[in-house]
Structure 1
């Protein structure tokens, strides 16, 4: 119960204003757009419950409901700010200041957002991210941005999936990141575009392997400062019924990254990310879903800086590798697959559950082969945060090899 109350405090308030405005339109509309994808909405969500309904029922003793008029999300920005406390394997306890701005440009069907989740952690990490997803007039162009400042002590365990957890090597660094991508619709559900990507690590230092042996980090090339800067070419097909919490459909994304010395890169290198997902109702007549995910992150040529190599939970969505701490596996090639079964526990949709299984294989340094497959598995609960967008609070407990285990908490589905 205490955990549930804490989660409500952390996650519910920033979405409350959006919830009230979105809910009123759901009763009347048969179709709506969520995050750019056309979905079929329920005619009436009154039979469904979310955490906002629970909180409202506590303070609304008479049992009356909020006004369900014709108010819809408009062009006026909605601001939300919330201090909170959180926990992850990587940060341990963290004090956070979360905030978001949500708005719709006049004439657009899609909502633009700017959000941040600034934190100071028990591990003395400073985390300042700013994410943006902005649609221009007429929804013609989509600007996706990712800015980060991290003062980030984080252990590395060597290269490849043959690495041992006993070789934990504390590394400290500061990261400045700038990503900006521009996408436009080509035809149907196909989008394409280009972007610029910049990662700068500085004040990098390592403590070394506990047994005094030379670490993979040192063997790879110990540098106190590195930069990766280049262009990206991107393609996307999104046929999911709801990108926040898909129940059916298909998704495929490809990103080619080309880092150039003349743009400031420490060394030239290229990489390719292929992200494919498929969702089925199972059984077909139920609300339960079985989902499959393949995420492959490959260095094609060159030698990226150590901290820019593919690594667990350093994918764009920070979702890979439940069962392992962030950065537990790292290497020039990453092949990853996951499946998850999602099911309702209560008929009103307030509470659900999941069971998941993943597997990953990494190579070592560039030019080496993939190593042994490492599994991860676990189960979790889903608490409905917003019944309109179908956003859940995800609370998972995962296990991996060599005694790895921990709690993983996030908003929305992992994939």
Structure 2
């Protein structure tokens, strides 16, 4: 009852709090609030400090938090936001995370546009020591029937793309997934298969292959988009000749659309569709799964790895709004639905939704970087809190 009341208040009252867009000098972020609290003199700067062409903003943020798959965690995020001449905003993130469940994660991601958007380079490099529960394959699994997996993981993804028209890019890349020291246990007993599947359940697994990618991106700021369309399509051919366990293919289709509802960036409707399809024999840990997108954001309401299968489809809608005139505090309402194919016949037979709400705290007003704190409830009875640096999508 309490959750319904909160949703009612946020949904029906928030749209009427229409706040006009104000200049950077009147906006506040975390550094402004800290200076006010500790009476630190504000340095001389004006709106010219905003992220204009040739500008660069650096933010280093130590963040305590919580995630269902890791418990309490301590995280340090180093974020560099760059805007080259006549180009979209580029983002470089370096993240180190240590968790209550003895997980260690080091990740470096780049989304970089050169001058005039002529070239686009992206990468996702990460090393993980990552014990985690898995719940089997398909949608007919339960949270109680889980298998504990221990593994280490090295991911090396990189793509280089060239502009072929306004907001359009095409390019090639290489992706490498290496899991080792894999051990799986159910109720303290080592298991050799999960949902009847053996490949990658123990020992090690490798997926390695070249990619062909197409990108359309009309957003001006990927850190906190207020308008535009993003569509990323990646075809990957894993090859035994490059070290992969098997020759198999995958296709990723990631699309996002943003609508400025009030014309002042204070009320945004964001839509997200994330889909991954595979063909062939895929190592268990390389199958598409809840929360295993690049930014580990897909599927709020469920624990990471909750649903896994050879194919995955996902939809989400999020309404973002400003709560304070200074833009320091904002909020969101969101809902999502996901499904994975069944391992027996490779068909989609069931979809499960989730709903949630959250707060946004402005960390840097020039790059519009936020600290996101969300609470979500999944249809299978799960409910969790999520922390994120930047918008979820």
- The TM-score range, normalised by the shorter chain, is 0.7 to 0.9
Q: Which residue, out of 349, 353, 370, partners 1:375?
A: 353
Confirm whether residue 183 of structure 1 aligns to residue 161 of structure 2: yes
The match for 1:274 is 253
Confirm whether residue 121 of structure 1 aligns to residue 121 of structure 2: no
| 1:363 positional shift | 0.9
Contact 1:160 1:371 in 2 (8 A): no
The match for 1:155 is 133
Matched ranges for 1:163-174 at <5 A: 163-174=141-152
What are the superposed Cα offsets for residues 95-152 of structure 1, whole Å, 9 maximum, x if unpaired? 33444566788x7856766432222221111212222345557753333222211111
Measured in 1, the distance between the counterparts of 2:224 and 2:258 equals 10
| 1:389 positional shift | 2.2
Measured in 2, the distance between the counterparts of 1:120 and 1:392 equals 21
Contact 1:208 1:215 in 2 (8 A): no
Matched ranges for 1:229-308 at <5 A: 229-283=208-262, 287-299=266-278, 301-308=279-286
Measured in 1, the distance between the counterparts of 2:344 and 2:249 equals 11
Contact 1:168 1:210 in 2 (8 A): no
The match for 1:362 is 340
| 1:390 positional shift | 2.0
Matched ranges for 1:197-208 at <5 A: 197-208=175-186
Q: Which residue, out of 329, 342, 347, partners 2:320?
A: 342
Per the alignment, in what secondary structure is the counterpart of residue 292 of structure 1? strand
Contact 1:332 1:366 in 2 (8 A): no
The match for 2:386 is 408
Distance 1:377 1:276, change over 3 A: same
TM-score (norm 1): 0.80
Confirm whether residue 219 of structure 1 aligns to residue 205 of structure 2: no
Measured in 2, the distance between the counterparts of 1:60 and 1:323 equals 40
The match for 1:34 is none
Task: Give ranges in structure 1 of 5+ residues lacking alignment.
Answer: 1-41
| 1:223 positional shift | 3.7
| 1:180 positional shift | 1.2
After superposing the two structures, state which structure 1 stretch, 123-132 or 330-339, moved more. 123-132
What are the superposed Cα offsets for residues 310-367 of structure 1, whole Å, 9 maximum, x if unpaired? 0011012322100011101100111100111112212222211111110001113385
Distance 1:411 1:285, change over 3 A: closer
Task: Give ranges in structure 2 of 5+ residues lacking alignment.
Answer: 1-20
Contact 1:208 1:214 in 2 (8 A): no
Distance 1:197 1:53, change over 3 A: same
TM-score (norm 2): 0.84
